[in-house]
Amino acid sequence: MTARRGNTEGRLAWRMTGIITLCVYIFLFAPIVATVVLSFNDSMFGGFPMTGFSFRWYAKLWENEQVLAAFQTSLWIALVTATVTTAIGLVTAFALVRFEFAGKELLSTLVILPALVPETILGVGLLVAIKAVDQPRTLPLLVLGHILLALPYVVLIVQARMVGIRRIYDEAALSLGATRLQSFREITLPLLIPAVVAGALLAFTISFDNTSASLFWRPAGVETMPTQILSMLKISISPEINALGTVMILVTVGIPLVGGIVLQSLSRMKRRDQQRET
Amino acid sequence: MYNPRLAWMLVAPALLLLVFFLLLPIAVMAVYTFFTFITAGVEASTLTLANWHEFLTDGYYHGFLLKTIRVGALTAAICGVLGYFPAYFIWATTFKHKWLLLLLLIVPFWISFTIRTFSWIHILGEQGVINVTLLKLGLINAPLQMLYTEGAVIMGLLHFLLPYMILNVYVSLESIDRTLISAARSMGCTSAQAFREVTLPLSLPGLAAGLLLCFVLAAGSYVTPQLLGSGRDALFGNLIYDTIMGQLNWPMGATLSIVLFVILGFFAAIYTRYMGMSQIVKGLGG
CATH of the domain at A80: 1.10.3720.10
**How many domains, in total, are found in chain A?**
1
With CA atoms as reference, report the closest residue to A242 among A65, A31, A36, A29. A36
Distance CA A129, CA A125 (A): 6
**What mean pLDDT do residues B33-51 have?**
86
- For residue B25, pLDDT over 80 is answered with yes
Q: Which chain A residue shows the shortest CA-CA distance from B19?
A: A110
Boundaries of domain holding A200 = 63-223
Residue A151 within a domain: yes
Q: Fill in the DSSP letter of residue B197.
A: I
* CB-neighbour burial class of residue B209 (10 A; exposed 0-12, middle 13-18, buried 19+): buried
Residue A253 within a domain: no
Question: Do B218 and B184 contact (CB within 8 A), yes or no?
Answer: no
Residue A261 within a domain: no
Instruction: Give the three-class secondary structure for A53.
Output: strand
What confidence score (pLDDT) does residue B132 get?
87
Distance CA B238, CA A124 (A): 12
- For residue A263, pLDDT over 80 is answered with no
What confidence score (pLDDT) does residue B158 get?
95
Determine, for residues B22 and A92 on separate chains, whether the beta-carbon distance falls below 8 Å. Answer: no
Distance CA B109, CA A203 (A): 11
- For residue B217, pLDDT over 50 is answered with yes
Q: Which residue has the higher pLDDT, B185 or A32?
A: A32
With CA atoms as reference, report the closest residue to B151 among B225, B203, B201, B216. B225
Q: Which residue has the higher pLDDT, A125 or B3?
A: A125
Distance CA A167, CA B121 (A): 52
Residue A135 within a domain: yes
Across chain B, what does the average pLDDT equal?
A: 88
Question: Do B285 and B277 contact (CB within 8 A), yes or no?
Answer: no
Q: Is A250 on the interface with B (CB under 8 A)?
A: no
Burial letters for B228-245: b for 16+ Cβ neighbours within 10 Å, e otherwise? bbeeebbbbbbbbbebbe
Tell me the residue type at A229: I
Q: Is B65 on the interface with A (CB under 8 A)?
A: no
Q: Which domains does chain B have, with CATH numbers?
A: 53-285 (1.10.3720.10)
- For residue B24, pLDDT over 90 is answered with yes
Judging contacts by C-beta atoms under 8 Å, the chain B residues touching residue A29 are 104
What percent of chain A lies above the pLDDT cut of 90? 34
Residue A51 within a domain: no
- For residue B101, pLDDT over 50 is answered with yes
Residue of A21, A124, A162, A252 to mutate, testing the B interface (most B Cβ within 10 Å of its Cβ): A124
Q: Is A85 on the interface with B (CB under 8 A)?
A: no
Question: Do B216 and B268 contact (CB within 8 A), yes or no?
Answer: yes
Distance CA B279, CA A37 (A): 39
Distance CA A218, CA A227 (A): 9
Judging contacts by C-beta atoms under 8 Å, the chain B residues touching residue A49 are 132
What percent of chain B lies above the pLDDT cut of 70? 95
B9 min Cα distance to partner chain A (Å)? 9
- For residue B274, pLDDT over 90 is answered with no
Name the pLDDT band for A278 (thresholds 50, 70, 90). low
What confidence score (pLDDT) does residue B108 get?
87
B57 min Cα distance to partner chain A (Å)? 22
Which is it for the CA torsion B194, B197, B200, B206, positive or negative? negative
Q: How many CB atoms lie within 10 A of CB B174?
A: 14
What confidence score (pLDDT) does residue A3 get?
45
User: Rg (Cα) of chain B, in Å, rounded?
Assistant: 23
- For residue A167, pLDDT over 90 is answered with no
Residue A234 within a domain: no
Q: How many CB atoms lie within 10 A of CB B85?
A: 20
- For residue A223, pLDDT over 80 is answered with yes
Which residues of B46-85 form beta strands (DSSP E)? none
B156 min Cα distance to partner chain A (Å)? 10
**Separation of first and last alpha carbons in chain A:** 39
Distance CA A50, CA A40 (A): 9
Residue of A5, A7, A28, A168 to mutate, testing the B interface (most B Cβ within 10 Å of its Cβ): A28
Residue A232 within a domain: no
Among A8-12, A94-98, B6-10, B155-159, the range with the most confident prediction by mean pLDDT is B155-159
Residue A2: phi, psi to the nearest 5? -80, -5
Residue A133 within a domain: yes
| C-alpha separations of A240 from A35, A231, A252, B129 in Å | 11, 13, 18, 19
**Among A98-112, B11-25, B68-82, whose mean pLDDT is lowest?**
A98-112
Judging contacts by C-beta atoms under 8 Å, the chain A residues touching residue B18 are 110-111, 113-114, 148, 151
Distance CA B163, CA A19 (A): 17
* CB-neighbour burial class of residue B26 (10 A; exposed 0-12, middle 13-18, buried 19+): buried
